[in-house]
Structure 1
Amino acid sequence: MNEDIPKKHFATLKSKYEVWGYSDKSSSRSLYTILNKLDQRKRLEPEEFAWLASEDLFHRDHQPKIFTTYHKIEATFYEQEYKRTGNKWNLPSASSHWRSANQAKRALELTDNLKIDQIKNNKLKSALSTTRGGAFRDRRQLDKAENCALQAIEYFPNSHHPYTLMGALCYEWGDYEKGDIWFDKAIKRGASPRDQDAEIKRVIKQADKEERGNLMAYLLKKDSQRYKWVKKYIDVLEKKKAEQASKTKSH
């Protein structure tokens, strides 16, 4: 570790933001600087965010505190920008970050009183409806999420985001074939297979053991090579669940 980094403070920050396993001494200065900024609620530079991602310190699946803190800071920034400028394009960004910070309720509150149908820009209307749909999905209000997604498609049919949301909702309901139809429509409008995989991971994470088995069987039958990651992902989730249960029992 660089000698000018306070070891005790660095260790405290690593523990606080749940990156205690990071041990690359050659990059300690970079991590220490970033953790200090987050602790002071300062926004990260794009290259700092990219560095965290390159070092595998941002885990959307496990969401350590470094991940949620970053998104809280970003959400607050875009929310303040909306209040400062009145530019409604800041709202989908703020909402997305609040959702990533596990604060879907806060995301919905941003647009609860917004008369979306009176906005002239159809692309913006679609983005706002989609992000509301995503937040409703986070809160397990799937029917409301579906209504928002379909409304978003009506507003602006060329955006892939509401189609991806519809695909995810169908997977949530266990209608995988219908979900694939929506995912295919999203791909045709610019979505990537990684977008689909991210949504499938969310479904797997929230499913019970039987549902996970059914989904894995469906995906592997459809394309065993394309979806070979599914079994590994489920194994990781099951292992983590067992470890948490063991820790709880020991306490």
Structure 2
Amino acid sequence: MPAPNRIDLAHHYFVNDLPGSTIPASRLCDVLDKLQEGRPLTANGLNYLRQLGLAALGQLARGEIAYETFRPLAKTEQAKREQTAEAERHAKHESMLAKAAEQKAREAEYWAQQEAARLARESDPKYIAKMKNRALRDRYGIDIFIEQAHFPRLMNILRRFDDGNRLSDDDVLWLTTEGQGYYSDLLQAAFHEREGEFYASEYRRTSDPWNAVNASGHFRKCKQARKADDLLTSIPSERQKPPKLRSAIATTHGGVMRDLKRLDDALSLGNQAHALTPNDFRPCTLLGAVNFELGHYDIARDWYTKAIERGATERTIDYDLRGIFLRADPARREEIKAFLLREDPVRYRWVNNLQGKMPRSTGE
């Protein structure tokens, strides 16, 4: 007759509810094997059965009762064990539910306190003002630390500007000197756009071409060259009689063409402007920049020299060269670097360590 498997053996002795009853090499499994094979248990084995509360199985192992007598006794013991285990599982489950409810209540209380604190904080005038200030700074990209002495003036400027007002000359002077660290790219772009719209509106109101020139200069600085192009193109030729005005229009329009990558048109306009006002440095600066972008470095150098002779500063020209250098592709950068260092390794040493930050437009 084949030997029963582990599960059958555990059911046979009514211990299938106990851990280890079907696991080979476990202590209980070893006891069952001995009983099935008719081998006596040691004192330790009998003591182990007492520890498990298997009184009927202990009696069977000692030969005190037959299996038929053992069977109902063992079934009763197993039923009690299962009832106890079920009660313990239920109690454990109830305990877990109670702990979960307590945790949920604590969390609800915590979040209620947080919400109450938030509502109290958000109704505090100081907090409201702080959040408004932060939103205003974020809107204009000012994410750096603001010195306490600078804070009132900066926030006053931002509030007035955000209300739709133009920046005053004093505001711009402060932002470009003492407060230059707060004159973010976003704020500059917004300033130039507003100024451009103002002068464009003045041009439409007065038909004065100088307003169109001023508007176009601002539109260029906020990367709206096409708007500047449309405005300058709209100026009737009969209003462009004075040479200085015609030169200013041509120079500004040449800068717009440069922004739009129409470099041949920019050269043509620059030459027109220089012919009209040969002693003005602005057309020379434009022609220097355009020739440099075309790779005509020697010609560009000569135009820049003429610009300096007519009043342009090296600083302005070098700033424009930085912009050209940064916008160039890697191969062109190497060309520019080599040329500038040959020209003046001290003046142009910045090409060796200039970081890839996009420059601001110089307006030429």
Q: TM-score, normalised by structure 1?
A: 0.86
* Separation of aligned partners in 2, 1:232 and 1:87: 45
1:142 and 2:266 aligned:
no
Aligned residues between the structures: 233
Alignment match of 2:206 (pick from 50, 61, 85)? 85
* Separation of aligned partners in 2, 1:203 and 1:15: 30
Of structures 1 and 2, the one scoring higher in RCO (CA 8 A, sep 6+) is: 1
| Conserved? CA contact 1:82–1:91, under 8 Å | yes
1:125 and 2:246 aligned:
yes
* Separation of aligned partners in 2, 1:79 and 1:231: 41
Once the 2 structures are TM-superposed, how far is the Cα of residue 37 of structure 1 from its aligned partner? 2.2
- In the other structure, the counterpart of 1:212 is 333
| Conserved? CA contact 1:58–1:67, under 8 Å | no
1:4 to 1:81, Cα distance in 2 relative to 1, 3 A: farther
Q: Secondary structure at the match of 1:144?
A: helix
Which residue identity lines up with residue 227 of structure 2 in the other structure?
A: R
1:159 to 1:232, Cα distance in 2 relative to 1, 3 A: same
| Conserved? CA contact 1:108–1:132, under 8 Å | yes
Once the 2 structures are TM-superposed, how far is the Cα of residue 90 of structure 1 from its aligned partner? 1.3
1:13 to 1:118, Cα distance in 2 relative to 1, 3 A: closer
Once the 2 structures are TM-superposed, how far is the Cα of residue 154 of structure 1 from its aligned partner? 1.8
* Separation of aligned partners in 1, 2:229 and 2:182: 24
- In the other structure, the counterpart of 2:129 is 6
Once the 2 structures are TM-superposed, how far is the Cα of residue 130 of structure 1 from its aligned partner? 0.7
Once the 2 structures are TM-superposed, how far is the Cα of residue 231 of structure 1 from its aligned partner? 2.8
| Conserved? CA contact 1:133–1:144, under 8 Å | yes
Once the 2 structures are TM-superposed, how far is the Cα of residue 213 of structure 1 from its aligned partner? 2.1
1:101 and 2:222 aligned:
yes
| Conserved? CA contact 1:5–1:29, under 8 Å | no
1:117 to 1:137, Cα distance in 2 relative to 1, 3 A: farther
* Separation of aligned partners in 1, 2:176 and 2:309: 28
> After the TM superposition, which parts of structure 1 deviate over 6 Å for at least 4 consecutive aligned residues?
none
Alignment of 1:52-91 (within 5 A): 52-54=175-177, 55-57=179-181, 64-91=185-212
* Separation of aligned partners in 2, 1:40 and 1:178: 48
1:24 and 2:147 aligned:
yes
Once the 2 structures are TM-superposed, how far is the Cα of residue 117 of structure 1 from its aligned partner? 7.0
Once the 2 structures are TM-superposed, how far is the Cα of residue 114 of structure 1 from its aligned partner? 2.2
- In the other structure, the counterpart of 1:110 is 231
Once the 2 structures are TM-superposed, how far is the Cα of residue 123 of structure 1 from its aligned partner? 0.3
- In the other structure, the counterpart of 2:357 is 237
What is the CA deviation profile of residues 92-141 of structure 1, one whole-angstrom value per residue up to 9, with x for unaligned ones? Answer: 11100000011000001112132447622000000001101100100111
Once the 2 structures are TM-superposed, how far is the Cα of residue 38 of structure 1 from its aligned partner? 2.3
* Separation of aligned partners in 2, 1:32 and 1:83: 33
* Separation of aligned partners in 2, 1:31 and 1:143: 43
| Conserved? CA contact 1:92–1:128, under 8 Å | yes
What is the CA deviation profile of residues 209-229 of structure 1, one whole-angstrom value per residue up to 9, with x for unaligned ones? Answer: 221122122212211211122
What is the CA deviation profile of residues 157-181 of structure 1, one whole-angstrom value per residue up to 9, with x for unaligned ones? Answer: 1211111111001110112111000
- In the other structure, the counterpart of 2:52 is none
1:66 to 1:186, Cα distance in 2 relative to 1, 3 A: same
Larger Rg computed on CA atoms: 2
| Conserved? CA contact 1:122–1:156, under 8 Å | yes
- In the other structure, the counterpart of 1:165 is 286
- In the other structure, the counterpart of 1:245 is none
- In the other structure, the counterpart of 2:170 is 47
- In the other structure, the counterpart of 1:174 is 295
- In the other structure, the counterpart of 1:35 is 158
* Separation of aligned partners in 2, 1:73 and 1:113: 20
Unaligned residue ranges in structure 2 (runs of 5+): 1-125, 360-364
Which residue identity lines up with residue 18 of structure 1 in the other structure?
A: G
Once the 2 structures are TM-superposed, how far is the Cα of residue 5 of structure 1 from its aligned partner? 8.7
Once the 2 structures are TM-superposed, how far is the Cα of residue 42 of structure 1 from its aligned partner? 1.2
1:226 and 2:347 aligned:
yes
| Conserved? CA contact 1:220–1:227, under 8 Å | yes
| Conserved? CA contact 2:213–2:232, under 8 Å | no
What is the CA deviation profile of residues 60-114 of structure 1, one whole-angstrom value per residue up to 9, with x for unaligned ones? Answer: xxx7210100001111111122222222211211100000011000001112132
* Separation of aligned partners in 2, 1:52 and 1:79: 24
Q: Quote the sequence identity (%).
A: 33
| CA-based RMSD | 2.2
* Separation of aligned partners in 2, 1:58 and 1:207: 28
